Chain A
Amino acid sequence: MADLTLLTPELTLVGTGLAVLLIGLFLSTKAKKILGYLASLGILASLVLVVMSLGTEGVLFNDTLSFDALSQFFKIVFLSVALLVSIASIKYTEGNSHTEEFYSLMIFATAGMMFVASANDLMVLFVAFELASLATYALAGFEKKNPASLEASMKYFMIGSLSAALMLFGISFIYGATGTTSIPGIAENISLLLGSPMGLLSVVLMIAGLGFKIALVPFHMWAPDTYQGSPSVVSSLLAAGSKKMGFVAAFKVFMIALVALQAEWTTAFAILAVITMTLGNVVALSQTSVKRMLAYSSVAQAGYITMAFVVMSKTALAGAILYALSHGFMKAGAFIATAAVTYMVLSEKKDAEMPDHIDNFRGLGKRMPVTALCMTIFLFALAGIPLTAGYMSKFVLFASTIEAGLVWLAVIAILNSAISLFYYARVVKYMYFLPSDGVKIAEPKPYTFAMVIAAIFVLAIGFWSEPFIYWAMEAAKVLI
């Protein structure tokens, strides 16, 4: 029988989720603050367990779950993001009578992402994918009285369901042809799909289904609205966590199961990567809502990561996997910083329209020095300024395109990266160089704490990159 100890991180996490839900029933709204601490502790424990398990390998339940460097690396990404979001949400959920629901949904979403990372069977992958998705649909609409949040949730739900349907349709073709849903099994029987129109059709459907989650152009339409409308802490989970789930699923489906159909999908991904990064960056230039800008930047970053599907080398995959981790910290941090600013604006003026408008970032360097400093680190990292996580990941990823001789792709990516500096630097300019008549305010501690942790990791990956690169390489070995 299987060795259930491999599952301890997941079990810890799910246990925490259930405990939070249960304990919440017996607490007064005021006392529910403790749930945030409890959830954060549970996530932290699970994270520690995963980090400790790095290097162990195994399979469970008739090979439907596999535990390897790839799944562990992505679990670290998901849990780190969840930890940051959970800490920041202590402030966000303060005084909300639905705190336990928020935390349990968040934890279940994270558990879903973790199972996707471990899935070794398309059915398990799909179910886990849906677990994560359903929980995040509800989270996006957490502010029940806020129309923007509801709109975000509805849009996300509709498009998410459509994409799930497409994906399922794709899986059914694959299953129909190969007679198995096991990912390595598909790779073994791939000859049955090769050359048949079903192969092409399933590739198209899988790209579309996963493309929605990753928010590749042209499947990105929902992302800006959802990221902007959702509560910032939830956007943080979506952009930094949920998107990475799409990537790990895509890695498994394309790089392992459908690798023999490479000829069909590399070109498609090449085109998608180029339009995604270009459109994301260009549209981000003109945004006045910081959350929307971050949403488009997130689209652009997905474009960079997608380059790994085109290059298909160990370095490229390591770069993409490292990018996923870095992006998790940078994006989660940036959204949490935005959440702190939103909180500040709303506490001054209850019904402020667009609290994440860039004008509200004026003089932030004076008003909220820690938030401004952390935000600067995140933005520079997203832009790829040296000695940050963003630079290190871009370095490995972009360098790999040159290694593979795809100079045109490297040029496009690098030009895009240069464009992106503009809109990131603009926020920094607002924070430090434009005056504001606002006064200095006390920064909410949970937000600050989460941001500082994220900033430390963004710098750590940039400075002390060796262990991160080493594990990203190990994770890449699983795929190639």
Chain B
Amino acid sequence: MAIPILSSIVLIPLLFAVLTIFTKTREQARASALLSSVLVLVLTLFMYFNFDSTTTEMQFQELAQWVPSLGIHYQLGIDGISMPLVLLNAIVIPFLILFTWNDNKQQANKFYALILATQGAVIGVFLALDFFLFYVFWELTLVPLFFMVSMWGGPAKHKASIKFFIYTHVGSLVMLLGIFALYFAAWKQTGTPNMGIEHLLSQFQFIGDSLSRDLIFVALLFGFLVKIPSFPFHSWLPDAYVEAPTAGSVLFVLLKIGGYGLFRVTLPLLPFTPSMNLMITIMALLGSVSVLYGAFLALAQKDLKRMVAYSSISHMGYVTLGAAGLVSLSVSGAMFQQFSHGLIMSIMFMACGVINNATGTRIINDLGGLARKMPKLAVIMMVAFMASLGLPGLTGFIAEFLVLTFTYINQPTYVIIAILAIIITAAYHLWAMQRAMFGVYNEKFGALKDISASKTFSMAVLAILILYFGLHPSPVLDMMITNSEKLVSLMAVAGV
């Protein structure tokens, strides 16, 4: 390969982030950001079309020594687990930048720089094949998002940004402890230090002390669960998502690194964990409770954006639940849920932002009849809401169908808990849609204008993608199935 394509899609956004800080005007900043994101999209699409989805091998690998005396490498690679998530990020970011094209942001240079920095760091997490590098990118996602919330956030931005920071930082530090333990245990066995993810995962089963294996597993799982976030570690999410500016909320939605960690690290370790059955039960329980509890919380919300944020907890519950299902198709469903959720929630948060800007409120009861004045918004929002509640033909349905149906094989009880949420999910989506967009128009808003062309375009493209992948999921689902079959076959080795 002539160009190191993986390094490019990580480094282009990071370099452009630095460049964007030095731009003088808003026009330059947004142009620079758009250029970077389009470059990343083009490279990612190129990679996608040259991607072999029938193998679980790492593709487009890059490997260089970094700190040989500690066994740290600069190692990047992509497979069917990471490809859809990289694709998701590469697709949504350019449209996010178009979405904010005409927003009169203060300090636009920093705003766009933070978007790009987050993109680079998140893609870096997906591509890193060395735990050191993985952790570096993992922590790097935190900094731009923290500033995003604390600079452009809503009224409670300081509290929200700090809460987000502490919560996820503590989660990552616990994860780091797990990485250290795994690293040294493997070092002791092989005699040479090596931070490679694949190497460490393969060494896990040879750690003699079963208590340490359990502790390592729990430490890593904890880090991921906080990031997903799963009940009961979810309380940072509503504050952060709600207080963040629209672009920040979308970036949070694209931050799928917690769920990614489940598939990349947790599932390969699971069969070799001494208390495996307990761990599976914990994951299934937390997943299903997240689904149900998140739905109830969403139902109780008065604020539209807060409702969307809680629905996000509910949807991410499917990821944990599907992963604990341990059937190839349930795991693929969980992976697909990550992809689908990223697309759907991006539109939903964009819609919340638009409504808030136009009317000055996000309280559902104060809105009403917006569809009359904003028909384009209403149509696009409808697609996203329907996808979110799981209407067949849209992406959300495929993900949830796969998770619920196939998790039932191993975990019927928890699936039943999660199924209870379906009716509630439908209720709060429809209810919110009905009260905010339809019904009697609230005259105090005067003559509202529909969304601008750039916003319509960016939201519509994402909505079309939801429809496209809903009808024809195989372009991403195939590679997920290939990989999840391998993950599940590991379980078979352990006799599950």
Chain B nearest CB: distance from A25 CB in Å?
48
Contact indicator B143/A385 (Cβ below 8 Å): yes
List B contacts of A414 (CB < 8 A). Answer: 173, 176-177
The stretch of B66-74, B96-104, B306-314, B476-484 in contact with A is: B66-74
Contact indicator A399/B166 (Cβ below 8 Å): no
Contact indicator B180/A466 (Cβ below 8 Å): no
List A contacts of B169 (CB < 8 A). Answer: 418, 421
Which of A398, A417, A425 gathers most chain B CB within 10 Å? A425
What 0/1 pattern do residues 391 to 412 of A give for CB contact below 8 A with B?
A: 1000110110011000100110
Which residue in chain A gives the minimum CB-CB distance to B169?
A: A418
Given contacts A387-B136, A466-B66, A418 and B173 within 8 Å (CB-CB): yes
Chain A nearest CB: distance from B252 CB in Å?
19
- Is A91 engaged at the interface, CB distance under 8 Å to the other chain? no
Contact indicator B69/A433 (Cβ below 8 Å): no
List B contacts of A470 (CB < 8 A). Answer: 69
Q: How far is it, in angstroms, between the C-alpha of A410 and the C-alpha of B176 when the chains are bound?
A: 10
List B contacts of A398 (CB < 8 A). Answer: 176, 180
Chain B nearest CB: distance from A8 CB in Å?
29
Contact indicator A410/B139 (Cβ below 8 Å): no
Given contacts A418-B169, A429-B150, A433-B150, A469 and B181 within 8 Å (CB-CB): no
Contact indicator A418/B166 (Cβ below 8 Å): yes
Contact indicator A418/B170 (Cβ below 8 Å): yes
Contact indicator B69/A399 (Cβ below 8 Å): no
- Is A415 engaged at the interface, CB distance under 8 Å to the other chain? yes
Contact indicator B184/A399 (Cβ below 8 Å): yes
Contact indicator A386/B140 (Cβ below 8 Å): yes
Looking at the complex, which one of A385, A387, A421, A433 makes contact with B151 (CB distance below 8 Å)? A433
- Is B336 engaged at the interface, CB distance under 8 Å to the other chain? no
Looking at the complex, which one of B69, B135, B136, B184 makes contact with A473 (CB distance below 8 Å)? B69
Q: How far is it, in angstroms, between the C-alpha of A421 and the C-alpha of B170 when the chains are bound?
A: 11
Contact indicator A411/B69 (Cβ below 8 Å): no
Interface size class of B (residues with CB under 8 A): 20 to 34
What 0/1 pattern do residues 112 to 126 of B give for CB contact below 8 A with A?
A: 000000000000000
Which residue in chain B gives the minimum CB-CB distance to A466?
A: B67
- Is B60 engaged at the interface, CB distance under 8 Å to the other chain? no
- Is B165 engaged at the interface, CB distance under 8 Å to the other chain? yes
Q: How far is it, in angstroms, between the C-alpha of A113 and the C-alpha of B140 when the chains are bound?
A: 37
Given contacts A433-B150, A466-B67, A469-B70, A402 and B173 within 8 Å (CB-CB): no
- Is B428 engaged at the interface, CB distance under 8 Å to the other chain? no
List A contacts of B165 (CB < 8 A). Answer: 421, 425
Q: For the complex, would chain A's binding face be called helix, strand, loop or mixed by DSSP majority?
A: helix
What 0/1 pattern do residues 159 to 189 of B give for CB contact below 8 A with A?
A: 0001001100110010011001101100100
List A contacts of B215 (CB < 8 A). Answer: 407
Contact indicator B180/A410 (Cβ below 8 Å): yes
- Is A53 engaged at the interface, CB distance under 8 Å to the other chain? no
Contact indicator A396/B173 (Cβ below 8 Å): no
Chain A nearest CB: distance from B159 CB in Å?
13
Contact indicator B67/A465 (Cβ below 8 Å): yes
Which residue in chain A gives the minimum CB-CB distance to B177?
A: A410
Q: How far is it, in angstroms, between the C-alpha of A220 and the C-alpha of B341 when the chains are bound?
A: 53
Chain A nearest CB: distance from B153 CB in Å?
11
List B contacts of A402 (CB < 8 A). Answer: 177, 180-181, 184
Q: How far is it, in angstroms, between the C-alpha of A179 and the C-alpha of B67 when the chains are bound?
A: 45
Chain B nearest CB: distance from A472 CB in Å?
9
Chain A nearest CB: distance from B10 CB in Å?
13
Q: How far is it, in angstroms, between the C-alpha of A26 and the C-alpha of B177 when the chains are bound?
A: 60
Q: How far is it, in angstroms, between the C-alpha of A279 and the C-alpha of B135 when the chains are bound?
A: 28
Chain A nearest CB: distance from B387 CB in Å?
36
Given contacts A466-B69, A469-B69, A407 and B177 within 8 Å (CB-CB): yes
Q: How far is it, in angstroms, between the C-alpha of A466 and the C-alpha of B166 when the chains are bound?
A: 31
Chain A nearest CB: distance from B118 CB in Å?
15
Chain A nearest CB: distance from B130 CB in Å?
13
Which residue in chain A gives the minimum CB-CB distance to B143?
A: A385
Chain B nearest CB: distance from A285 CB in Å?
13
Q: How far is it, in angstroms, between the C-alpha of A27 and the C-alpha of B67 when the chains are bound?
A: 50
List B contacts of A387 (CB < 8 A). Answer: 136, 140
Chain B nearest CB: distance from A360 CB in Å?
21
Q: How far is it, in angstroms, between the C-alpha of A403 and the C-alpha of B70 when the chains are bound?
A: 13
List A contacts of B70 (CB < 8 A). Answer: 396, 469
Q: How far is it, in angstroms, between the C-alpha of A417 and the C-alpha of B172 when the chains are bound?
A: 12
List B contacts of A386 (CB < 8 A). Answer: 135-136, 139-140
Which residue in chain A gives the minimum CB-CB distance to B181?
A: A402
What 0/1 pattern do residues 69 to 91 of A give for CB contact below 8 A with B?
A: 00000000000000000000000
Contact indicator B67/A399 (Cβ below 8 Å): no
Q: How far is it, in angstroms, between the C-alpha of A433 and the C-alpha of B114 when the chains are bound?
A: 14
Q: How far is it, in angstroms, between the C-alpha of A396 and the C-alpha of B193 when the chains are bound?
A: 12
Which residue in chain A gives the minimum CB-CB distance to B136?
A: A386
Chain B nearest CB: distance from A16 CB in Å?
35
Looking at the complex, which one of A385, A403, A415, A469 makes contact with B173 (CB distance below 8 Å)? A415
List A contacts of B66 (CB < 8 A). Answer: 465-466
Q: How far is it, in angstroms, between the C-alpha of A469 and the C-alpha of B165 when the chains are bound?
A: 30
List B contacts of A433 (CB < 8 A). Answer: 150-151
Contact indicator A399/B183 (Cβ below 8 Å): yes
Which residue in chain B gives the minimum CB-CB distance to A399?
A: B180
List B contacts of A396 (CB < 8 A). Answer: 70
Q: How far is it, in angstroms, between the C-alpha of A415 and the C-alpha of B151 when the chains are bound?
A: 26
Which of B66, B67, B170, B184 gathers most chain A CB within 10 Å? B67
Looking at the complex, which one of B67, B151, B184 makes contact with A403 (CB distance below 8 Å)? B184
List A contacts of B181 (CB < 8 A). Answer: 402, 407
What 0/1 pattern do residues 250 to 273 of A give for CB contact below 8 A with B?
A: 000000000000000000000000
Q: How far is it, in angstroms, between the C-alpha of A429 and the C-alpha of B143 when the chains are bound?
A: 12
Q: How far is it, in angstroms, between the C-alpha of A470 and the C-alpha of B173 when the chains are bound?
A: 26
Q: How far is it, in angstroms, between the C-alpha of A425 and the C-alpha of B181 when the chains are bound?
A: 29
Chain A contacts with B in 406-453, Cβ cutoff 8 A: 407, 410-411, 414-415, 417-418, 421-422, 425, 429, 433
Q: How far is it, in angstroms, between the C-alpha of A411 and the C-alpha of B180 when the chains are bound?
A: 12
Which residue in chain A gives the minimum CB-CB distance to B170?
A: A418
Which residue in chain A gives the minimum CB-CB distance to B65?
A: A466
Contact indicator A411/B136 (Cβ below 8 Å): no
Q: How far is it, in angstroms, between the C-alpha of A411 and the C-alpha of B139 when the chains are bound?
A: 18
Q: How far is it, in angstroms, between the C-alpha of A399 and the C-alpha of B69 when the chains are bound?
A: 14
Contact indicator A411/B177 (Cβ below 8 Å): yes
Chain B nearest CB: distance from A319 CB in Å?
10
Chain B nearest CB: distance from A449 CB in Å?
21
Q: How far is it, in angstroms, between the C-alpha of A398 and the C-alpha of B179 when the chains are bound?
A: 12
Chain A nearest CB: distance from B66 CB in Å?
7
Q: How far is it, in angstroms, between the C-alpha of A6 and the C-alpha of B397 when the chains are bound?
A: 75
Contact indicator A466/B68 (Cβ below 8 Å): yes
What 0/1 pattern do residues 66 to 102 of B give for CB contact below 8 A with A?
A: 1111100000000000000000000000000000000
Contact indicator A417/B184 (Cβ below 8 Å): no
- 6 additional contacts (CB under 8 A) given A398-B180, A407-B181, A418-B166: A387-B136, A395-B132, A402-B180, A414-B177, A415-B170, A433-B150
Q: List 10 A-B residue pairs with CB atoms under 8 Å apart, sorted by A's residue number.
A: A385-B143, A391-B136, A403-B187, A407-B177, A410-B180, A425-B146, A433-B151, A466-B69, A469-B69, A470-B69
Residues of A within 8 A of B (CB): 385-387, 391, 395-396, 398-399, 402-403, 407, 410-411, 414-415, 417-418, 421-422, 425, 429, 433, 465-466, 469-470, 473
Top 3 closest pairs, chain A to chain B, by CB:
A402-B180, A386-B136, A403-B184
Residues of B within 8 A of A (CB): 66-70, 132, 135-136, 139-140, 143, 146, 150-151, 162, 165-166, 169-170, 173, 176-177, 180-181, 183-184, 187, 215
